[in-house]
Structure 1
Amino acid sequence: MESELITIGVLFFFAIVGGIIAKRFKQPTVIGLLLIGALIGPNTLGIVNNQKWIELIIEIGAILLLFVVGLEFDLPKLMKLGFKAFAIATLKVGIGLFIGFQVALMLGLGTAVGIFIGAILCFSSTVVIVKILEQKSMYNRKETPILLTVLILEDVFAVLTLIFFSSIKTSAGLNILNMIEHIIIGLTTLIIAYLVMLKVANYIFKWLMKNSNEDITTFLALGFCAGFSALAYALGLTPSAGAFLAGSIIASMPHVSKFETAISPYALIFSSLFFIAMGTLVNFGSILPNLLLISVLIGAILVSRFTAIGIVTYVFAGFNGNEAIFSSLAMLSVGEFALLVAKESVGFGLGIDIVTVTSVLIFVSAVMMSITLAYSNNMHKTWQSTKQPKYISNTMTQLAWYVRSFFDQIDTENRSTKNFKTAVVSCMFALLVAVFLLVGWNKMISILSGFGVTGIIIYLIHAVFVCATFVSLYVLHKRLNHTQDTLVRVLTGIDRMMNHKKSRKILKNLLISTIFFLTAMFSPIIIYIFGLPGWSTIASFGLLAVCLVYFRGAVRLLNTYNSESYSRGRLYNSVTLEELYRTTPKGFKNKIIL
């Protein structure tokens, strides 16, 4: 016991040292904590070498860190943030995963290493980004709100990633179908528990707080966090996922600020110890052998950010060239969730020190972000000075206007858009129920057969599952049709020269191209789960080719102007750009097109 207390005391002391180092070099505290942890760890100075306690601190720190992140994830409020933020976050994660996976394959590292590297490249650091933007007095730029929203939504993907890797680890030895069944049943059960508690937790907490003093707030928060973490662990998922959902439930309550105030001191302590403990896993001796990988991944981070943030925000968020470049640089920093993903890789026997590689990437990307942000204007001027093909420039301008107008229409609060959002949520829920029924069908029959249930009861259960599955699929079909009709009306409303038939064709091409693109981006997951060889990634590029065909079809339908009318500033059947601005949704007229 004495050695454990000494270990904690040493970690507290060096947490102060790490904070001083970070302050001295004007870097986020996370960087200082990781660096000091690497120095005092068993692979360097050996001041802290109690591996058992290091693992315990990492687990507790990760749970509280995810719990605090969940406190910012108020589901009803996030539903109002708009579809464009969700689209940007989805594309960013998908593109980062795809690029990281392909880089690993090109370096001959295999699909297992590739899926981890891809996952690590997906996430940016909220802590580092906010801190550096505040230090450089850039936090109040107009790009910041949409970037922070993307970061919050990114956390959801990070939790799903942790669930994915932890489930694979706990399902070792099972065949592919049983592994998928285990993940779907566990995740669906956790989500159902989350939705139920989202409705009833507020009444339970209100009663408990009414019949006790204010000191119970801390215990309620920590106890609720522990309970959901235990549920996730019992389902074979990572406890951090349960902590995140527990925080999200509390975030939906009226008195969430009381819980945030009560839990913040403990979260600060354990999150600081978490980053130091993660730093102790770093082995400086692994940097030189992996120097080529680290160098290539730094380049991959730049490519993924300028593609997934720069181009995507230009098209989806209405950013001009300067704002898109600034956003790309602001999102350079690799996130703290990458450390949790790297930690999961320890039990997979990959033969590469992913934790050390990730720590170096976090450090280097944070420094790169801090330095390059000041040069975003110069980069934009350089880009403007380059001669770009007129066709590509015109097509991007027209597509950007169209997509931005579409999302502005969707995000406008009216009866149609509310019905559309409700239909989307209903589609997702119906799909979840259908998948759960299809997967749980066989599981339920196996369980009942184990208890000796046979005969007519088994046939009745089969009938119930068949009926329930058909009902859920019918609801899904109806909701999809309703969603499609709403989207067609939105598309028709964007351009007054467009009819329903043309809108439906554009929607069909865009949806098909989006499906093929997202399938290609997330194809590394399929390749990894089914143990396919690395060369099977050729199919991903085939999907991208099909995506391009349908995308060009949509562009041709949109491209109703000729080169002469465009040169005179006329688009959409001789309608001027200024006239289009006057007919666009409220809030778009001041947007600048590059």
Structure 2
Amino acid sequence: MDAATDTLIQFSFFIVFALLGTVLSIKLRQPYVVGLLILGMLAGPNVMSFISDKGLISTFSELGAILLLFTVGIEFSISKIFKAGFRALVITLFKMGTLFFFGYELALYFGLDLTTALYVGAMIAITSTAILYKVVSQKGLAKNPTMPLLFSMLIVEDIFAVVALTFFSALTAETLAAGGAAPTYENKFLSILLSLGFLGVFYILVRKPAARFILRLTETLSEEVMIFVSFSICLAMSMVAAAAGLTPAIGAFLAGSIVASLPNSRRIEKTIKPLLLMFASLFFLSLGMQIDPGAVIANLPFALVLTGVFVLVCSSAVLVLLYTTGATLENAAFGATAMVVMGEFSLLIASEATGQYAPLLLSAGSFGVVATAVISSFMIDRREKLASIVQRSVPPKAMNAIGQFAQYFTGVIHDFSPSGAFWRVSRMCWGCVRHKLGRIALIAIATFIVQLSFSAFHLLSGMQLTQVRWAVIVVAILSILYYIVGIVRDLVPMFDALRKIIARHKRDSTDESIIMRNLAISAVLMLIAINVHEWVALLQLPLLFDWLDDILFVVVLIFIWDLMRHAGKLHRKRGKERVSKWKARHKERAEKIRKLLRGQL
């Protein structure tokens, strides 16, 4: 049998097993990812060897990853970020940070190296949008009041997942270039940020021209041309991303967001969605073919513990975060049970790993995806029981304390939202500041031009030239300082709004209680900030976590500033009281003297 015939047969097996995997998932009432991973593992070179061409498997894996990110990009638009709101952003950051920490530390506990621990932390930090929606839809809960917030969180997670995928792709390339040596991921992170900045600038420059070009073609031409145009912009952006040293998948994601910004994006999405779904199915099937059942069995303890930690930590974190940001306990329980699904990005990140732990990550990730899809379906049916257990097990005093913290946290989130008090004050301050910044820029430009004029036209020479140059510089510096002082004065209302939001308190609180509370909070936060470096070193966390102490010190300064404001207010209040008492005593003495004088007369 020649190579061409063999490739054709193997491709036919790809299509057949993709169909069987989808049918199996429908019969089991599970997301299609579950059936594709299982059938891929059985049909791949590690079990039945129906498909043994590793080159073909790798091609479908890479092409499927690109088109999967293109699909995510089509369902994403910049406006959705603003609609997501500050609440979704805060909850997602805390949720992902908590899961990353536990996954990272669990990997170190099992003896994995620091780089592999990064992969594990990132893998369990991300919830699957596709699987969550499939599970919730099957249960008839798609219109639950918490769903808009959950989808907003998933939008934010997808953005972080794309950045994480870019980071790990570049990390893999550096590891291979270094011959397997441990990479310096802090420096690599900074270089990736520069590359992302370059790609972002390119995206901003080409977005509108490309959108107009696509719109003109897709409005007048047939659906076949629409498909070719969409895939062309996808592959073009993928090549630009690859040229910038990034994974091609992030270019596909940006290409999808360009298509999503078009007025007729729904029509384009409807036309190309079947092809994208087919390639996504082939991607998950090819990932399943890379799973070695022997590796899954050998690493089953790690896979079981990792899945258990993910389910426990994710459900607990989402439950607490949703409840403390204004959701009812029942809705928080629904969100907690719905979000415990690992998915496509976990597998994409695992597939980027190299070295001796690559099979472990892929097998553990695949096991986690299949297991959490089933567990989430089981837990959603028992969400009300979970809410009642939480309500019974938490003491009333603790619930009251959590309620007070929820009230504080909800107020902070509302004030920091785009329609909140902080942004209103910030916009007012910026209106004053930008004029002064413009004048500073004009002064700097004028000073530069004057200095060049002295050199170009030889207007003065010797000591006289030096004195005039220094005089111009001094005048410019004094003028700039004048405007800087004005900028600081204009920013005071914004800083004061920040103080009131962070150090918020009840309206009936006395100045003495506010001062004591701020002292206690500042002392605790200062103690934590001082020990951050030691804890980061002890837990072997990435050096990026060293920034936590800077954030805590800023919060401490805000509480101390609020303390000083209330201390000054209390001092003035007590001063007025002392003056009032002195006036009262003086009036009383004067009255006694008058009475005494009347008696003598």
Q: Which residue does 1:202 correspond to in 2? A: 211
Instruction: Report how far residue 404 of structure 1 moved.
Output: 1.4
Does 2:361 align with 1:354? yes
SS of 1:141's equivalent?
A: coil
Are the equivalent residues in 2 in contact too, given 1:124–1:151 (CA < 8 A)? yes
Are the equivalent residues in 2 in contact too, given 1:158–1:337 (CA < 8 A)? yes
Q: Which residue does 1:10 correspond to in 2? A: 13
SS of 2:382's equivalent?
A: helix
- How many aligned positions are there? 502
TM-score (norm 2): 0.72
Q: Which residue does 1:303 correspond to in 2? A: 312
| Structure of higher RCO (CA pairs closer than 8 Å, 6+ residues apart) | 1
Change in CA separation of 1:310 and 1:480 when aligned onto 2, cut-off 3 Å: farther
Could you tell me which of 385, 396, 408 is aligned with 2:402?
396
Moved more, 237-246 or 372-381: 372-381
Change in CA separation of 1:100 and 1:132 when aligned onto 2, cut-off 3 Å: same
| Aligned 1:501-516 pairs, distance under 5 A | none
Q: Which residue does 1:257 correspond to in 2? A: 266
Moved more, 238-247 or 168-177: 168-177
Are the equivalent residues in 2 in contact too, given 1:314–1:324 (CA < 8 A)? yes
Alpha-carbon deviations, 1:477-500, whole Å to 9, x = none? 999977645545667999655899
CA distance in 2, matches of 1:512, 1:5: 70
Does 2:165 align with 1:162? yes
CA distance in 2, matches of 1:487, 1:169: 42
Equivalent AA in structure 2 for residue 362 of structure 1: V
| Structure number with bigger Rg | 2
RMSD: 4.6
Are the equivalent residues in 2 in contact too, given 1:31–1:363 (CA < 8 A)? yes
CA distance in 1, matches of 2:352, 2:62: 11
Instruction: Report how far residue 115 of structure 1 moved.
Output: 1.0
Are the equivalent residues in 2 in contact too, given 1:110–1:534 (CA < 8 A)? no
TM-score (norm 1): 0.73
Change in CA separation of 1:189 and 1:534 when aligned onto 2, cut-off 3 Å: closer
Alpha-carbon deviations, 1:560-589, whole Å to 9, x = none? xxxxxxxxxxxxxxxxxxxxxxxxxxxxxx
Could you tell me which of 315, 336, 343 is aligned with 2:344?
336
Change in CA separation of 1:108 and 1:477 when aligned onto 2, cut-off 3 Å: farther
Q: Which residue does 1:150 correspond to in 2? A: 153
Q: Which residue does 1:322 correspond to in 2? A: 330
Could you tell me which of 261, 272, 280 is aligned with 2:281?
272
Instruction: Report how far residue 307 of structure 1 moved.
Output: 3.5
Q: Which residue does 1:84 correspond to in 2? A: 87
Change in CA separation of 1:505 and 1:333 when aligned onto 2, cut-off 3 Å: farther
Could you tell me which of 398, 402, 411 is aligned with 1:405?
411
CA distance in 1, matches of 2:388, 2:262: 47
Are the equivalent residues in 1 in contact too, given 2:37–2:285 (CA < 8 A)? yes
Alpha-carbon deviations, 1:148-168, whole Å to 9, x = none? 111111101110111111112
Are the equivalent residues in 2 in contact too, given 1:121–1:301 (CA < 8 A)? yes
Alpha-carbon deviations, 1:198-245, whole Å to 9, x = none? 344333333444665554322221111111111111111111111111
Change in CA separation of 1:406 and 1:292 when aligned onto 2, cut-off 3 Å: same
SS of 1:48's equivalent?
A: coil
CA distance in 2, matches of 1:289, 1:357: 10
Equivalent AA in structure 2 for residue 328 of structure 1: A
CA distance in 2, matches of 1:515, 1:249: 46
| Aligned 1:94-493 pairs, distance under 5 A | 94-172=97-175, 179-180=188-189, 182-209=191-218, 212-213=221-222, 215-316=224-325, 318-345=326-353, 347-350=354-357, 352-388=359-395, 390=397, 392-411=398-417, 413=419, 417=423, 420=426, 484-488=495-499
Equivalent AA in structure 2 for residue 254 of structure 1: P
Equivalent AA in structure 2 for residue 22 of structure 1: S
Change in CA separation of 1:281 and 1:421 when aligned onto 2, cut-off 3 Å: farther
| Structure with greater helix share of residues | 2
Instruction: Report how far residue 62 of structure 1 moved.
Output: 0.7
Change in CA separation of 1:30 and 1:323 when aligned onto 2, cut-off 3 Å: same
Does 2:35 align with 1:27? no
SS of 1:47's equivalent?
A: coil
Are the equivalent residues in 1 in contact too, given 2:338–2:380 (CA < 8 A)? yes
Instruction: Report how far residue 12 of structure 1 moved.
Output: 1.0
Equivalent AA in structure 2 for residue 401 of structure 1: Q
SS of 1:81's equivalent?
A: helix
Structure 1 residue runs of 5 or longer lacking an equivalent are 425-472, 558-594
CA distance in 1, matches of 2:172, 2:490: 36
Change in CA separation of 1:108 and 1:221 when aligned onto 2, cut-off 3 Å: same
Instruction: Report how far residue 10 of structure 1 moved.
Output: 0.8
CA distance in 1, matches of 2:533, 2:86: 20
Instruction: Report how far residue 288 of structure 1 moved.
Output: 2.2
Alpha-carbon deviations, 1:43-92, whole Å to 9, x = none? 11111111001111011111111111111211123213210011111112
CA distance in 2, matches of 1:514, 1:402: 17
Change in CA separation of 1:555 and 1:120 when aligned onto 2, cut-off 3 Å: farther
What's the % identity of the aligned pairs? 28
CA distance in 2, matches of 1:119, 1:522: 22
Change in CA separation of 1:77 and 1:261 when aligned onto 2, cut-off 3 Å: same
Instruction: Report how far residue 186 of structure 1 moved.
Output: 1.2
Are the equivalent residues in 2 in contact too, given 1:512–1:550 (CA < 8 A)? no
Are the equivalent residues in 1 in contact too, given 2:36–2:285 (CA < 8 A)? yes
CA distance in 2, matches of 1:312, 1:554: 28
